[in-house]
Amino acid sequence: MLALISFRSVSLPRFRATSRLMLAMVVGFLTTTALAQQPAPDTLRPDTMAARVAACTACHGAQGRAGADGYYPRLAGKPQDYLYHQLLNFRDDRRQYRPMAHLLAGLPDDYLREIAAYFSEQHVAYPPPLRADATSSALEAGRALALQGDAARGLPACASCHGAALGGQLPAIPGLLGLPRDYIGAQIGSWKTGLRRAAAPDCMADIANKLTPTDISALAAWLSSQPVVEPYVPDAAGSLRLPAECGSQAQR
């Protein structure tokens, strides 16, 4: 790594300057090597919550704030029971996504409940929403479905279960804002096709089956374009009278 020097061709002052440069290089090299051999400050220690959730945050972002693309949703601040049920659903094949099923295979209920509790307690700022790439009529249709529903088709408003601010309701109904458009559309579509299921009676499957592709696109566009106004937290349990009996609320 160090160059050889012909002393006969180098004057004394130049030799001294070159020697100082070489010494600095050697010291720098040794210091860098020593630092490289030290453990990184963020090395995960076994049997800690940080180690448990490392596989989650690799896709869902630090503290579960959401992934970099539209398919890894925010986990931070969601109701604990909701997160717990989703972990159970992935593990027990009620919700289909092979990487999640692989990660959760064989994990006990209490272990999953602790992970759900960790993410429910994380509170990080929401990013500003992206501008909706949709027509004004499509956005209005999405707004109407979210806040008013469509009684003629037996469609309750999203707000009737997820709250007036669409922040969810304890113990197990999640908020709908701060989610990517692609994720919202994909999840409603998964309920519609049976790839995603919840405990019977499955309210979301019933609702999804009544939504047309145009409805789903409009809902996803409007919901994903709404800003999150803090404090954005789930409503208290029992604060809303649900329009239908839902198995996910009864399952504890």
Of 175, 190, 171, 173, nearest to 71 by C-alpha is: 190
CA-CA distance, 21 to 221, in Å (whole number)?
61
The percent helix, strand, coil of the chain (3-state, each to 5) is: 50, 5, 45
Query: Which pLDDT tens digit goes with each residue over 67-120?
Result: 888 789 999 999 999 999 999 999 999 898 999 999 999 999 999 999 999 999
Query: Which pLDDT tens digit goes with each residue over 45-71?
Result: 878 999 999 999 999 999 999 988 878
Q: What is the mean pLDDT of residues 219-245?
A: 93
Residue 236 has pLDDT above 60, yes or no: yes
- Tell me what pLDDT residue 250 has: 59
CA-CA distance, 75 to 126, in Å (whole number)?
12
Three-state DSSP class for 135? coil
- How confident is residue 248, by pLDDT bands cut at 50, 70 and 90? confident
CA-CA distance, 196 to 209, in Å (whole number)?
12
- Map out the domains of the chain with their CATH numbers: 48-124 (1.10.760.10), 130-252 (1.10.760.10)
DSSP string, 38-55: SPPTTPPPTTSHHHHTHH
Query: Which pLDDT tens digit goes with each residue over 193-228?
Result: 999 988 889 999 999 999 999 999 999 999 999 999
Cis peptide leading into 127, omega within 30 of 0? Answer: no
pTM for this prediction = 0.78
